[in-house]
Amino acid sequence: MRARAALVMLAVVAALGAVYYVVSRPKPAPAAPERQFVWYVDMTELSTMAISLPPLGRSERWVKHADQYWYFDAPGGPKVNMKRWGGGIPLILSGPAANRRIAAGVTDRELAVYGLVSPRMQIALTLATGQPITIVVGDPTPDRQAYYIKLAQSREVYTVDASWYDVLARLVTDPPYPVPGEEN
């Protein structure tokens, strides 16, 4: 009889342990929301890229040649320094993931608030098909962690990481010209 009571108590303790295990397990973290893209194209489809910084009055333009390398777009323009350029520049210009969409259907007055009427940066992309894509980058957000951005023909405003803007601005302020005598 004692052995039977011990087995019943052991079964009750095991059942309680199983219930406790199931109830006390941590819940999985909710899935992060999928980030929206301001625009998206396959980076291999890019044929020309131009970045201008209107406040500085500076710009740079690159073109992809038949050898699939990027060159500065000027008569006899040099090949881009691949050590500084890498494969990353066409990739980040093929479409940034937005931190969030700020507004849709904005008015010209609202665009001015975001710095998109007199932009800090303009990007002009041309696809191999000849289709142009124009992007306007406005002011930084108040915390300076992101920049306001939109497609030129769109009335939707997004934010993208400040590092995205910084990398592209540097291509204009410190262009990736080839180092004399160094092979890319």
Say which CATH number the domain at 53 has: 2.60.40
Q: Is residue 7 part of a domain?
A: no
Q: Report the residue count for the chain.
A: 184
Q: Is residue 126 part of a domain?
A: yes
Residue 5 included in any domain: no
pLDDT given for residue 138 in this prediction? 96
pTM of the complete model:
0.79
Q: pLDDT value at position 126? A: 95
Given its phi and psi angles, is residue 84 left (phi above 0), alpha (psi -120 to 50 degrees) or beta? Answer: alpha
Tell me whether residue 157 is in a domain: yes
Domain count, the chain: 1
Containing domain of residue 105, as a range?
A: 43-173
Instruction: Identify the segments of the chain with pLDDT beneath 50.
Output: none
Does residue 65 belong to any structural domain of this protein?
yes
Q: Does a structural domain hold residue 62?
A: yes
> Count of alpha carbons within 13 Å of 11, Cβ hemisphere only?
6
Residue indicated by tokens 């939707």: 156
Specify the pLDDT at position 147: 96
